[in-house]
Structure 1
Amino acid sequence: MTRPIGYYVHHHGDGHRQRALAIAEAMGEGVTLLGTGLAGRTGLVPAIDLPDDRIAADFSDSDRGGGSRGERPPALHYAPFDHDGVRRRTAAIAHWIAEAQPRLMVVDVSVEVAMLARLASVPTVYVRLSGVRDDRPHRDAFAGACALLAPFHAALEDPATPPGTVARTFYAPGIIRAAPVADGDERRILVVLGRGGGDGDGACWAEAARALPDYRWEVLGACSVPSEMPDNLCLRGWIDDAGSAIARAGLVIGAAGDGLVSAVLAHRKPFLCLPEARPFDEQRSKARRLAALDAAVVVWAWPAASDWPMLIARAFAQRRAGWPAALDTAKGAARVGTWLTTLPLEAASARCAAS
């Protein structure tokens, strides 16, 4: 029997799960997902639902893995003491590795899981997100991996990324799940709120919708209900098929997370980008590159009501002017699947052993 590929799915936001599903579905079989909150959310793709390792409000360890009981090791990001979820999570991953004997672990993303897999004698592919990730934990995770996977265009790479890291990276833009082909309705503005941020402010989106009454505004994600709802605003909440909604939209508004940017670029939609604060300057780094390539109209602060018509007009005009040649998107999920199945792990394992 062919040995499986394990794919660790981080539970912050939903982009990691969507990316993992797109790759697993493109490969057809042989991939098992591991992560928290996966039960009932992976379709036909096999999954291991892991215990949660997040710190609850009543967690008693005030030093969060450092302080009087010992400093947090410099090669780790997250090492709380006396956390039962961390213990059981580590045990579950190690048990699955021992039983399934995977040929490879894709880690999207966790320095600690990458190290656990390496200690369990499994080659790893580490998913590199955007931003400046030159801290010790990331450097060690990159060095211990057999290869690096970037779910974005090489043209969106942060200029500060070391050349050695770039050389070891497989760039795979357009990792999205299949969506039906649809003609966009230019009068339909789609706002996509990711799971990684806070809830959207319905009053702010109501103000934006009132500024352009001839457009239909739809908001996906958690959003408060405004006290006065304009007729042209619809709050749809969470939906399973955001990709199809993006395909049907005339223009998309959202942050600069990898999942949304991949979908917007794959469907070549006019994009009004409102980057959010994230660790390692992730979204701001990507937004700066999108702006430099004329792939999005980037807004760094919340617009005044009177600015919305001008911003929407700029985004439409930008797309009518053409598409950046550097951002042509191949079928990202299929490319990653082929790459993973043909990655020469014997030679890569030798390089890992020497790192």
Structure 2
Amino acid sequence: MTARPLVGWYVHHHGAGHLTRLLAVRPHLEADVVVFSSLAAPAVLPEATTWLQLPRDDHDVVAPDGTTRAPGDPESGTDPTVRGMLHWAPLHHDGHAGRLAAVAAWIAHARPRAFVVDVSVEVTLLVRLLGVPPVVVAQPGDRSDAPHALGWDAADRVLAPWAEGLHVSSALDRVRDRVRFVGGISRHDGRVDGPGSPAPGTVLVLAGGGAEGREGLAQRVAEASRATPAWRWSLLGASADSWVDDPWPLLRRAEVVVSAAGQNSVADLAAAGARAVVVPQDRPFDEQRTTGRLLAERGLAVVPDHGRADHGWPAPDAWPELLDRACALAPDWSLWQVDGAGARAAAVISEVAR
């Protein structure tokens, strides 16, 4: 019997999307996987999966004179972008050195067959310098900067979690022969359980994975609810009290879902066949606004473009029209190609590992 390949997997700590994507793809991957992340391990790990927690690389740097400065401070002397060549490689930072050293020590000992990087240009380069083929996860937005080009050039495969032809990227065109479009990856792919039809007059708001998306959200939802008395609003994930491990039944039950424009959030909307109002959040490289424009152009969701109060959130008096427009949608979510996307992503990784 052929031994199962060993695969490394780097999970970025910003938001919940990178971890969610790992958990969606992992059941389809016939391999032993070791995960590296600054995040704490989830309560339940998939079988044959090991989690190694890395030190953070964003805490203050202590100078020889005892003063402390944030590594991104121009006066800190840490030059984290190396004059624009990289995204984050601060000088004299013990956390940054420790995390890369941990990955390097494991590779030298374990000799993995492939390494998924979701996402970090610096980890991609380290893995490739150590002789392991990286599978780099791409993201929407303007990725024409030099660090992204460097990371994609170093990748053995670039895994794009959207359908081919949706996001047009001249930066990805440079490495087109190594890009694999797998469709939107949702942890709910293939599920058919839950309510058969939505409950009229219900709105479900999904809090974004980042803390900035949740800040003040309960108040904004309360104001929107008061402006739409014919609708019953629910808020999910904005606090420990409103968190549920499985939002699928609630997604299926809501007549309208309000969501950010993160990759996992939109893939979940597609899996549920939801009629949605999508409110892009501010993200580096214009990631969510790029996705929001695409959703609006394809008629897949209502994306507000005016009347915003704060955090991109529409003003209360905009919500009656937004909800009516969402109800009138007939979105063809098959364009997002969620069905089988996790398995297709696993196949790309397996191809490299073999």
Q: TM-score range by the shorter chain?
A: 0.7 to 0.9
Q: Which amino acid aligns with 1:222?
A: A
TM-score for both structures, normalised by structure 2: 0.85
Instruction: Report the equivalent of 2:293.
Output: 288
Aligned to 1:327: 336
Structure 1 residues 135 and 243, CA gap change in structure 2 (3 angstroms) = farther
**1:114 aligned residue:** 124
Q: Which residue of 1 is the match for residue 59 of structure 2? A: 55
Structure 1 residues 253, 124: CA separation in 2 closer, same or farther (over 3 Å shift)?
same
Q: Per the alignment, in what secondary structure is the counterpart of residue 298 of structure 1?
A: coil
- Tell whether the 8 Å contact from 1:129 to 1:282 is kept in structure 2 after alignment: yes
Contiguous gaps of at least 5 residues in structure 1: 224-234, 346-355
2:37 equivalent to 1:43: no
Alpha-carbon deviations, 1:123-149, whole Å to 9, x = none? 001111000101111000000001101
| Most deviating of 154-163 and 257-266 | 154-163
Instruction: Identify which range, 104-113 or 183-192, moves more after superposition.
Output: 183-192
Deviations 1:83-117 (A, max 9, x none): 22112211211122122211001100001111111
The one-letter amino acid of 1:182's match is G
Residue identity over aligned pairs, in percent, reads 35
Q: Does the Cα contact within 8 Å between 2:69 and 2:76 map onto a contact in 1? A: no
CA shift in 2, pair 1:309/1:68, >3 Å: closer
- 1:135–1:104 CA distance, 2 compared to 1 (3 A): same
Q: Does 1:273 align with 2:281?
A: no
CA contact (8 A) 1:191 1:219 kept: yes
Q: How far is 1:2 from its partner?
A: 2.8
Which residue of structure 2 aligns with residue 32 of structure 1?
A: 34
Aligned-partner Cα distance in 2 for 1:305–1:163: 41
TM-score, normalised via structure 1 length: 0.84
The runs of at least 4 aligned residues of structure 1 exceeding 6 Å deviation read 65-68
Aligned to 1:209: 225
Q: Match for residue 182 of structure 1?
A: 194
RMSD of equivalent CA atoms: 2.6
Superposed displacement of residue 11, structure 1: 0.4
- Cα distance in structure 1, aligned partners of 2:160 and 2:298: 18
Partner amino acid for 1:245?
L
Unaligned 5+ segments in structure 2 are none
Paired residues, number = 332
Post-superposition offset of 1:160 = 4.7
Cα 1:38–1:326 change in 2 (3 A) is same
**AA matched with 2:144:** D
TM superposition shift of 1:43: 2.2
Q: Note closer, same or farther for the CA distance 1:159–1:316 as it changes in structure 2 (3 Å cut).
A: farther
Instruction: Establish whether residue 4 from structure 1 lines up as the match of residue 6 from structure 2.
Output: yes
Asked if the contact 2:7–2:34 (Cα under 8 Å) also holds between the matched residues in 1, the reply is yes
Q: By how many angstroms is 1:159 displaced?
A: 5.1
Q: 2:158 aligns with which of 134, 140, 148?
A: 148
Match of 1:230 in 2: none
- The answer as to whether partners of 1:174 and 1:331 remain within 8 angstroms in 2 is no
